[in-house]
Amino acid sequence: MRDGGWEPRRLAAVAVALPDGVTPSGTRGRILHAALGLFAEWGFHGTSIRKIGAAVGINSATLYAHYPSKEQVLADLVQIGHAELHHRLTEAVRAGGAPAERLAALMRAHVLAHTDFPLLSVVTNSELHALSAELAAPALALGVASERLLLDVLAAGIEDGSFDLPDVRLAARAIGGMGQRVGNWFGPDQPHTRTQVAEAFVSFALRIAGITTPIPPA
Amino acid sequence: MRDGGWEPRRLAAVAVALPDGVTPSGTRGRILHAALGLFAEWGFHGTSIRKIGAAVGINSATLYAHYPSKEQVLADLVQIGHAELHHRLTEAVRAGGAPAERLAALMRAHVLAHTDFPLLSVVTNSELHALSAELAAPALALGVASERLLLDVLAAGIEDGSFDLPDVRLAARAIGGMGQRVGNWFGPDQPHTRTQVAEAFVSFALRIAGITTPIPPA
DNA sequence: GTCTATACGACGATAGAC
DNA sequence: GTCTATCGTCGTATAGAC
Segment A134-172, tens digit of pLDDT: 999 999 999 999 999 999 999 999 999 999 999 999 999
Which of A91-105, B101-115, B203-217 bottoms out in mean pLDDT, i.e. has the lowest?
Answer: B203-217
Per-residue pLDDT at B90 exceeds 50? yes
Q: What is the pTM of this model?
A: 0.96
A162 touches strand D (CB under 7 A): no
Mean pLDDT for the stretch of residues B19-35 = 96
Cβ neighbours of B48 (radius 10 Å):
13
Q: Which distant-in-sequence residues (6+ apart) come within 8 Å of A181 by Cβ?
A: B173, B176, B177, B180, B181
Of B99, B149, B139, B201, which Cα lies nearest the Cα of A178? B201
Compare all CA atoms of chain A with the CA of B40 and give the residue at the minimum distance: A129
Interface of A with B in 87-146 (CB under 8 A): 126, 128-134, 136, 140
pLDDT in tens, B153-167: 999 999 999 999 999
Per-residue pLDDT at B8 exceeds 90? no
Q: Domain extents for chain B?
A: 26-69, 71-208
d(CA A201, CA A213): 11
Cβ neighbours of B21 (radius 10 Å):
6
Domain B71-208 has CATH 1.10.357.10: yes
Q: What is the CATH class of B26-69? A: mainly alpha
Of A14, A15, A118, A34, which Cα lies nearest the Cα of A76? A34
Beta carbon pairs, A and B, within 8 Å: 169
User: Measured between beta carbons, which residues in chain A are less than 8 angstroms from residue B175?
Assistant: 178
pLDDT in tens, B168-185: 999 999 999 999 999 999
pLDDT at A174: 98
Give the percent of chain B with pLDDT over 90: 90
d(CA A130, CA B126): 13
d(CA A59, CA A179): 38
> CA(B84)–C1'(C9) in Å?
38
pLDDT in tens, A17-74: 999 999 999 999 999 999 999 999 999 999 999 999 999 999 999 999 999 999 999 9
d(CA B176, CA A88): 25
